Amino acid sequence: MENITRRQKEILLYINDFIEQNQYAPSIYDIANAFSINTKTAQEFVDRLVIKGYLTKEKKIARTIQLTEKAVDELTQRSIPILGTTAAGKPIEVVEDVKGQIVIDKKRFSDGEFFALVVRGDSMKEAGILDGDFVIVKRTELPKDGDIVVALIDEEVTLKRLFYDYQNHQIILHPENNQLKDIYINPDSFKCAGIVVGVQRYFD
């Protein structure tokens, strides 16, 4: 969140949570009490947030503090890095280099570390993942059976649905495209960079 101090952000989050829980705005006294500061200091914090465009407030009328659209957007969204591409087709060489940022919903993707990759290929099209899509990936080295994973195989990366074949002691990477074949690999040559937890698509 740009142009805002840590304490200002804390107060903004408090106001947002208070309104969500009570369906009305906190008073200056509520804010002062919550942060163990005097009402004059609380008023100064609110005034600064108004000047910065995060709050609106009617003068001399209690409980009229409201978050602006700017504040709502910044409180409910977060940016994650785009770390290159992943192959929804044949595996491609691993390249982890930040190519920019993508905005995701903070509440939906709140628990864990996330990054994004650009999809290249159509091997996952029947799972709704198309060439050019951004997949949102949660870092983990312990995927579950049936997860769509960013698989690292001998320094190459590919996007597939994972299944464990315990009987034959192997991992199956299954493309969601009936024209393509499964990939069978030894667990020792497999590493998971993360699991796909979302897809974002942009139109020109």
pLDDT tens digits, one per residue of 161-195: 999 999 999 999 999 999 999 999 999 888 999 99
Q: Is residue 1 part of a domain?
A: no
d(CA 40, CA 92): 60
Pair 147, 182 in one domain: yes
- pLDDT at residue 204, as a whole number: 58
Q: Tell me the average pLDDT of the chain.
A: 88
Q: Indicate which CATH number applies to the domain containing 35.
A: 1.10.10.10
% the chain with pLDDT above 70: 93
5 or 93: which leads in pLDDT: 5
pLDDT for the residue 55 = 94
Residues 118 and 181 in one domain: yes
Instruction: Name the least confident of 5-14, 59-68, 93-102.
Output: 93-102
**Would you say residue 73 lies in a domain?**
no
Structural domains counted in the chain: 2
Enumerate long-range contacts of 32-36, CB under 8 Å, 24 or more apart: 35/7, 35/10, 35/11
Residues with catalytic function:
123, 160
Decide if pLDDT at 83 tops 90. no
* Same-domain pairing of 40 and 117: no
Measured from the Cβ of residue 23, the count of other Cβ atoms closer than 10 Å reads 7
The 3-class secondary structure across 112-146, one letter per residue, is: CCEEEEEEECCCCHHHCCCCCCEEEEECCCCCCCC
89 and 181 assigned to the same domain: yes
**Mean pLDDT (whole number) for 107-127:** 90
pLDDT band at 97 (very low <50, low <70, confident <90, very high): low
CATH number at residue 115: 2.10.109.10
pLDDT at 102 over 90: no
Range of the domain at 56: 6-67
> Looking at the structure, do residues 188 and 88 belong to the same domain, yes or no?
yes
At 202 the pLDDT is: 77
User: Rounded to an integer, what distance in angstroms lies between the CA atom of residue 55 and that of residue 65?
Assistant: 7
In a domain, 58, yes or no: yes
Q: Which phi and psi angles does 75 have, rounded to 5°?
A: -80, -25
Residue 181 shares a structural domain with residue 128: yes
Q: For position 96, what pLDDT does the model report?
A: 58
Query: Are 124 and 166 part of one and the same domain?
Result: yes
Of 67, 92, 115, which residue constitutes the final position of a domain?
Answer: 67
Q: Which two tokens stand for residue 136?
A: 């949102």
* Residue 2 binned pLDDT confidence (cut-offs 50, 70, 90): low
Higher-pLDDT residue of 90 and 173 is: 173
